[in-house]
Structure 1
Amino acid sequence: MTLASVTIVGGGMSGFTVAKELRGRGFTGALTIIDPAGVPYDRPPLSKDYLLGARSQEDIQLAGRTWFAEHHVDIVTGTVAALRPDEGTVVLEDGRRITSDKVVLATGGTARRLPIPGGDLPSVLELRTRDDADRLRSLLVPGSRLAIIGAGLIGAEVASSALPFGADVVLIDPVDPPLVPAVGPELARRLHAMHPANGVEVVTGVPTSITVDATGHKVTLESGHTITADAVLVGIGIVPETALAESAGLETDNGTLVDESQRTTHPNVYAVGDSSRVRLANGTLLRRAEHWEHAMKTGATAAAALVGDDLPEHGASWFWSDRHGVHVEGVGSMTGEGATIVREKDGEPAVVFKLDVGGYLAGCAAVDGGLAVRAARRIIDRRIRVDPKQLADPSIDLKKLAR
């Protein structure tokens, strides 16, 4: 049967990528994106330029309204309440129904709440949407005190972004240093040390309760120490949004289960982005990913599968982050057994490489080293064996090692 219509539930990067790729691959049928926020927008700026006011709502849109009109992509502002996969029908909260040949779930995730007393207080902030960023920005006034629970990528970015507002920031995490699995211990230590060097108070501890009264919030730690703050932001990851899939009878396991073409356990439904999780043909469940690039990759894969094209081949996973004026990038995996190679600059770790037990490059992370990370990605993808001494030598151009 010729594919004549596709409905995409969710307007984040993964959902938008499905639409863009479908049109790029020659699909001319009816194409609809449904999202509560309307026109799709980019999420990473929410903790950086958008929060700082350097970019507007229009600036962070993934494409302008004219693009959607020119490419005949209908934008429906609303929330899907039910999915009927046999019919290819989605039912919106207001009763509207949209039926298509295929449905793509790009539902993303919801902010993970702290499972402690006070963790679900309405005044405890999260950062997933533009509205969340607007609310946070309104509280960042000179002399205000912001407590951030979770010093991962989002927490670190917000801590950095809050300082120009004149706010005092305390960053709380149970691990010292955070981000070791992402960038390795050497860079993790350097990055975490940037917080106190820039005026952020760093506290290592486990929160056990949050209370609020007329004087503000109090975060109590397992040690008994109490931190007072005007506002509390929790950034400890997300929970995949699978309620729609579950109610429709699709299989889920910490994500909506999909095959390598992003197809769910119902042939009419695909799932992409943060909420999807690949189950290989042999039953192996891959780890669910939450990165921006992963959203693009899964969107591109689903689009190819929908139109019957060969599935695209994707390289090693890649991420980036910004804090305190430096840019961080990572590719591949920095965990697992094997050797660690550190390339220094000015006496500090600048690029860290992870070799697997076979001596092949498995991962790389860098501070202000985008070119190095791109070269490392080629080395990983092409399975090029490299000399560890050359990796450690800053005088050697990594691009030469990637040829």
Structure 2
Amino acid sequence: MTERVVIVGGGIAGISTASALRSGGFEGDLTLVDAGEFPYDRPPLSKDYLAGNMPLEQIALQPPSWYDDQRVRLVNRTTVTALRPGEGKLELSDGGVLSADRVVLATGASAARPPIPGADSDRVHVLRTAEDADRLRTALVPGARILVVGAGLIGAETASTAVGLGCEVTLVDPAAAPLTTVLGGQLAEWVHALHTQRGITVLQTVVQSFTGLGVTGIRAQLADGEAARTYDAVLLGVGMVPHTTLAEQAGLAVDQGIVVDAGQVTSNPAVLAVGDPARLRGTDGTLLGRAEHWEAAQTDGVRAAATLLGKQLPADAAPWFWTDRHGRHIEGVGHMSDASLTVVRGLFDDPSFAVFGLREGRVVAAAAVDDPTAVRAARRMIDRRIPIEPNRLADPAINLRTLLRS
């Protein structure tokens, strides 16, 4: 019987695990170990928090009273240095030891720093923690020359924040239109073009090296054949590296992530893993890619709690994500790369519009700009496998609820 659970890591995956355990009826001892003062949400770090519009307390994942109300012992400003699952023990950085029947690893990830010469300069930033955002914010002053490397979610959102603060921003990425897999080619190009419309210099290339110039800035040599350019600061937004060291040291199966089954259980049944470091092994033995989005981490926590409670696992749902940039809210569900036909609902110049991806008469993906209702409807269509007529889906005069009932 599981009477003591320790969750290692206080991101959305760890907090979701704790919340789902209590709401599911777990009455045992529940401890959450977090390196920070309190667990906080990460998406605002590239937007409102980075811009200085929101204090850290406002992005806390739970208010301070929640931990007492839910009887969750928060061990903060502390890390786990070793797992001893065979003994049911965890060693802490302050010298303490915790006992647990089951452990949930929600250890998260670090921002990647590719081996670019000169990338260890103090002027080259990453953005994964509040401390990272605090350091970067000091460079985002009006007129500052900022180079953002990588036009994925973190890079694009930071570029948007920086130009909004009055910086002179250059954004580089090797892809002509990042996010094509999830948004589709046409919408991905439209979204990427927002940067140019807002005055950002967009270059399709990669960085070859950085050279520090002391107090005058940092020089970046790009692979576009042009002379090196000088900037005041650089942000690397080129992905993340999962935290797997604890799992490796404990002898768990690790392969570019902590290997788990559908119930989030690792190769040791006493240990589960959720969120960014977890990598699912399919029923056929194939290792799938790690899901690195907010909702995926939240869902992992719900599944882990179900496993610990001995309950049925929740049904799989189509993956969903969102991003905010230049005053536009973009959401996507599923993968447009799975579609054989795309249908646009509305016009790209409209205040809001959506693109649906279909295959064999059913919606398999959708993305929308300033229209979250369309994405919610699309998700139901995907999960319920509802047959849809493309011409009706494209007609904004037809309410999507009507199509859900068809």
TM-score, reference length from structure 1? 0.96
Letter in 1 for 2:272: Y
Cα distance in 1 for residues equivalent to 2:225 and 2:85: 51
Structure 1 contact 297–314 (Cα < 8 Å) conserved: no
Structure 1 contact 149–173 (Cα < 8 Å) conserved: yes
- Of residues 345, 355, 358 in structure 2, which corresponds to 1:355? 358
Q: Which runs of 5+ in 1 are unaligned?
A: none
Cα distance in 1 for residues equivalent to 2:64 and 2:342: 47
Secondary structure of the structure 2 residue equivalent to 1:345: coil
Structure 1 contact 116–209 (Cα < 8 Å) conserved: yes
Letter in 2 for 1:8: I
Cα distance in 2 for residues equivalent to 1:346 and 1:188: 12
Tell me whether 17-26 or 85-94 shows the greater mean CA deviation.
85-94
String of CA shifts for 1:220-270, please: whole Å, max 9, x gaps: 111232232100000011111111111111001121000110000001000
Cα distance in 2 for residues equivalent to 1:112 and 1:156: 16
Letter in 1 for 2:60: Q
Letter in 2 for 1:5: R
String of CA shifts for 1:174-205, please: whole Å, max 9, x gaps: 11111111211111111111111111111111
Structure 1 contact 13–42 (Cα < 8 Å) conserved: yes
Cα distance in 1 for residues equivalent to 2:381 and 2:70: 37
Cα distance in 2 for residues equivalent to 1:367 and 1:152: 17
Match of 2:153 in 1: 153
Cα distance in 2 for residues equivalent to 1:250 and 1:121: 35
Match of 2:217 in 1: 216
Residue 75 of structure 1, CA deviation: 1.1
Structure 2 contact 338–365 (Cα < 8 Å) conserved: no
Residue 128 of structure 1, CA deviation: 0.5
Structure 2 contact 209–220 (Cα < 8 Å) conserved: yes
Structure 1 contact 89–99 (Cα < 8 Å) conserved: yes
Cα distance in 1 for residues equivalent to 2:306 and 2:326: 39
Residue 346 of structure 1, CA deviation: 5.7
Residue 122 of structure 1, CA deviation: 4.0
Distance 1:178 1:238, change over 3 A: same
1:322-341 equivalence runs, <5 A: 322-336=324-338, 338-341=340-343
Residue 337 of structure 1, CA deviation: 5.2
Secondary structure of the structure 2 residue equivalent to 1:273: coil
Match of 2:317 in 1: 315
Tell me whether 1:387 sits opposite 2:389 in the alignment.
yes
Match of 2:42 in 1: 43
Match of 2:207 in 1: 207
1:78-157 equivalence runs, <5 A: 78-157=78-157
Distance 1:364 1:337, change over 3 A: closer
Residue 347 of structure 1, CA deviation: 4.6
Match of 2:57 in 1: 58
Identity of aligned pairs, percent? 51
Runs of 4+ in 1 over 3 A off after TM superposition: 120-123, 346-349
Secondary structure of the structure 1 residue equivalent to 2:368: strand
TM-score, reference length from structure 2? 0.96
Cα distance in 1 for residues equivalent to 2:16 and 2:221: 42
Structure 1 contact 187–350 (Cα < 8 Å) conserved: no
Letter in 1 for 2:52: G
Letter in 2 for 1:162: A
Tell me whether 81-90 or 100-109 shows the greater mean CA deviation.
81-90
Structure 2 contact 123–217 (Cα < 8 Å) conserved: no
Structure 1 contact 384–402 (Cα < 8 Å) conserved: yes
Letter in 2 for 1:18: T
String of CA shifts for 1:114-151, please: whole Å, max 9, x gaps: 22212333431111001011111111111111110001
Cα distance in 2 for residues equivalent to 1:118 and 1:92: 34
Structure 1 contact 32–73 (Cα < 8 Å) conserved: yes
Letter in 2 for 1:365: A
Secondary structure of the structure 2 residue equivalent to 1:162: helix
Tell me whether 78-87 or 116-125 shows the greater mean CA deviation.
116-125
String of CA shifts for 1:68-95, please: whole Å, max 9, x gaps: 0121111112111111111222112232
Structure 1 contact 272–298 (Cα < 8 Å) conserved: yes
Structure 2 contact 80–93 (Cα < 8 Å) conserved: yes
Letter in 2 for 1:325: G
Structure 1 contact 51–133 (Cα < 8 Å) conserved: yes
Letter in 1 for 2:262: E
Secondary structure of the structure 1 residue equivalent to 2:32: strand
Match of 1:188 in 2: 188
Distance 1:346 1:332, change over 3 A: closer
Structure 2 contact 258–266 (Cα < 8 Å) conserved: yes
1:237-252 equivalence runs, <5 A: 237-252=239-254
Structure 1 contact 47–158 (Cα < 8 Å) conserved: yes
Match of 2:66 in 1: 67
Letter in 2 for 1:250: L
Match of 2:27 in 1: 28
Structure 1 contact 241–275 (Cα < 8 Å) conserved: yes
Residue 278 of structure 1, CA deviation: 1.0
Cα distance in 1 for residues equivalent to 2:44 and 2:88: 34
Tell me whether 1:264 sits opposite 2:277 in the alignment.
no
